[in-house]
Amino acid sequence: MNKMYIVRLSDAERETLLAVINKLKGTSQKVRRANILLKADADGPNWIDEQIAEAFLCSIQCVENVRKKLVTEGFDVALHGKKRARPPRAKALDGKQEAEIIALRLSDPPKGRNGWTLRLLAEKVVELEIAPAVSHTTIRSTLKKTVAVHGNSFPGSCQVVKIACRDCSLCGRFGKKCRWREAMQKTEDRISQK
């Protein structure tokens, strides 16, 4: 089968690839790409894709993709990979808002309810103007973080606030200046006003 993308490396590119491989400089993906490019070089070993894939424990498609990137996008992109076009999404809530949501979760639920639901919390957060808009999934992930960080048995448990207010290793403050205690007080004040 004729190859559509033929790899031809210059001497400088070969030296760069050898340096990456010999020093294991960079990520494992970068080292693998360097190995693939060296073995696929038409002026060098000129291995077929199946041999390269077997030697470096990757798929044939991976080898073909590296060849294609070299020919179409250049040496740097083939070796280092493409930079992300869009930056990652910014956090929906800051630390203070998260603290207020946790404090709201720990407060008494509205009359006629046994407990807080995620959708009810999301509606109350918007109503109390803690955040301009928030979904129930954002509330879920915010409350879930407290379990991972503090190791409690359920999201947003009372132990989080008690631990934080006694000896706050979360915000580095002690006593009355603890952000968790402040958030709890603000949330209680907002609820009592409405």
pLDDT tens for the 194 residues of the chain, in order: 577 899 999 999 999 999 999 998 889 999 999 999 999 999 999 999 999 999 999 999 999 999 999 999 999 999 999 888 888 888 889 989 999 999 999 899 999 999 999 999 999 999 999 999 999 999 999 888 644 334 444 444 444 443 344 445 445 554 545 666 677 677 777 777 76
Q: What angle do CA 41, 47, 53 make, to 5 degrees?
A: 110
Give one DSSP letter per residue of 91-125, joined into a string: PSS-HHHHHHHHHHHHSPPPTT-SS--HHHHHHHH
The position carrying tokens 């991972």 is 148
pLDDT value at residue 181: 65
User: Can you read off the two tokens belonging to residue 21?
Assistant: 């491989």
Domain boundaries, the chain: 11-80, 95-193
Spatial CA neighbour of 17 closest among 50, 46, 1, 41:
41
Spatial CA neighbour of 82 closest among 41, 45, 33:
33
Spatial CA neighbour of 139 closest among 111, 113, 170, 103:
103
Task: For 7, list phi and psi in degrees, rounded to 5.
Answer: -90, 120
Alpha helices in the chain (DSSP H): 11-23, 28-40, 49-55, 60-73, 75-80, 95-106, 118-127, 136-150, 158-166, 179-193
How far apart, in whole angstroms, are the C-alpha atoms of residue 79 and residue 182? 51
Residue partners of 137: CB distance under 8 A and separation at least 6: 118
Is there a contact between 155 and 147 (Cβ–Cβ < 8 Å)? yes
pLDDT value at residue 123: 96
How far apart, in whole angstroms, are the C-alpha atoms of residue 75 and residue 92? 38
Is there a contact between 113 and 158 (Cβ–Cβ < 8 Å)? no
User: Can you read off the two tokens belonging to residue 111?
Assistant: 């009359």
How far apart, in whole angstroms, are the C-alpha atoms of residue 29 and residue 36? 10
